[in-house]
Amino acid sequence: MRNKLLPVCLLVATSIFGQVPVDTTSNAKMDALFGRDTTLHTPKDEKMNLDAVYNRPFLRPGKLPISKGGYVEANTQYANTDGVSEGLSFQMRRMTIFMAATINRRIKFLTEIEFEDGTKEINIEFASVDFQFNSLLNLRTGILMNPIGSFNQNHDGPKWEFVDRPLSSTRIIPSTFSNVGFGLYGKKYTRNWVFAYECYLTNGFDNSIIANTQNRTFLPAAKVNPNRFEESFNGVPLVTLKAAVKRRKFGEIGLSWMGGVYNKFRDDGLVLDQRRRVDVWAVDFNTVLPGSRTYLNGEFVWARVDVPSTYSQQFGRRQQGGWLDVVQPVLRGRMLGWNTATLNVAARLERVDYNVGTFNETNENIYDEIWSVVPAISFRPSPTTVIRANYRYQWDTDILGNPPARTAIFQVGFSTYF
């Protein structure tokens, strides 16, 4: 049923938005950023989460046909769980390399290769060719990041005041979740509004989301399967749809859905199980409050997984969570010799409920949840570099609702584009 929504969605979007002329006035800004025409034609103040993948300060490699860049982030942390600490750790969280090429004025390629925890994980997170037919109709194909929520698309470390990625965006939504596939996206501008849509068909999840060593329904378990870049686990594409609207000088709100069959219900022509679906819905938003210039950014997610009724209740059929970041600049301008420095105070409040429901045996609540609050201070010597200090306090409650494990983590680190 939901698969049938795709062509309808495209038809409606096309009929509403129509064809618009290319916004050539914005090219100069994009040229400055990428060193060449990039075909997105999006003025800087109209950037949306959709644009995040190309909205990066790449280095300009002169006359080479490829522009390169990336970001790096590292930190130190001291964690204490219920009075027990493993001591001080130094972490090289990730180094990501971008390469982009404008093959033609309206054909471009970008890839993002990520090294996490040194070389513990090496992933091609993004490697897509974009063909622009007009601003409302672009074809993207290759390895792409499913646009569920905002963080999965807009996750570069230097953009955030927090060392850790948001919990619900990494434990319910499996950021950074990328898959092979293709789809369409586009944007429509009016005087004060920008509308955007994205529709993709990709490979998807697998049985591991309910059979993993986390002992809970865990969509990110599918990221471990390298075969998802080679073939679909079950032959049924994962559908991802996102619509977003932005009011200029106010903020953006996005609604997204990702769904499909996750299990191997047949193999070699034999029926192994019934088709079991996973569906994820997300709402994301961001805005800057006028006057105080307080930046608010948040995302809420709901997941529903068809877990066999005869399987362990350890694996939840419903999950939900969300996070809200508040970032308040307190000093701007010249500091310590940097001309465009900013000092921010920030806080994140986040929650993940891995298992929404009640026990069959007792009809009492199933817990398996996390609450966390993260106050932070960040210093940005330039907009592309952040030095940040975080203090995380987290409550992890087990599936039964026993007294939560309490964890405090001090983190100091940096992240910068290069």
Partner 1 sequence: MGPTAPREDELLDGPVAGLTPAQSARHLAGDIAFNDEIFTPETGLGPVFVANSCGSCHPGDGKGHPFTTLIRFGHTDSLGQNEFDHGFQIQNRAIPGYEPEQLPEGTPFAKFTPPSNSGLGYLELVSDEDILGMAAANAKNPDGVRGHPNWNLLPGYVTPRPNSRRQGDRYITRFGKKGSVYNLFHQTVVAYNQDMGITSTFDPSDVYTLKSIDPEVSDRKVRDVVFYLQTLKAPIQRNPDDPAVLRGQQLFVQTGCESCHKQTLKTGYSPVAALANTEFHPYTDLLLHNMGPGLDDGYTEGSAGGAEWRTPPLWGLGLAQNSQGGQVYLMHDGRARSIREAIRMHGGEAASIQKRFEEMPAASQADVIAFLKSL
Question: Which residues of the chain form contacts with partner 1 (CB under 8 A)?
Answer: 80-85, 207-208, 210-215, 263, 272-273, 276, 308, 310-314, 359-362, 364, 367, 391, 398, 400-403, 406-408, 410
Would you give the DSSP letter of residue 59? B
Closest approach, Cβ 400 to partner 1, in A, equals 4
Q: Between residues 40 and 210, which has the closer beta carbon with respect to partner 1?
A: 210
Q: Are 241 and 254 in contact (CB under 8 A)?
A: no
Q: Between residues 11 and 400, which has the closer beta carbon with respect to partner 1?
A: 400
Burial code (b: 16+ CB inside 10 Å, e: under 16) for 374-388 equals bebbbbbbeebbbeb
Q: Between residues 193 and 311, which has the closer beta carbon with respect to partner 1?
A: 311
Whose CA is closest to 132, among 108, 153, 111?
A: 108
> Could you tell me the two tokens for 50?
């959709």
Q: Between residues 208 and 344, which has the closer beta carbon with respect to partner 1?
A: 208
Closest approach, Cβ 186 to partner 1, in A, equals 39
Q: SS3 of 33, please?
A: helix
Task: For the chain, give the number of residues.
Answer: 418
Closest approach, Cβ 231 to partner 1, in A, equals 18
> Side chain identity at 10, as an amino acid letter?
L
Cα gap 35→253, rounded to integer Å: 30
Q: Are 414 and 382 in contact (CB under 8 A)?
A: no
If one counts every other C-beta atom within 10 angstroms of the C-beta of residue 236, the result is: 17
Cα gap 153→242, rounded to integer Å: 12
> Side chain identity at 253, as an amino acid letter?
I
Closest approach, Cβ 303 to partner 1, in A, equals 18
Q: Between residues 352 and 409, which has the closer beta carbon with respect to partner 1?
A: 409
Closest approach, Cβ 71 to partner 1, in A, equals 30
Closest approach, Cβ 328 to partner 1, in A, equals 22
Q: Between residues 21 and 403, which has the closer beta carbon with respect to partner 1?
A: 403
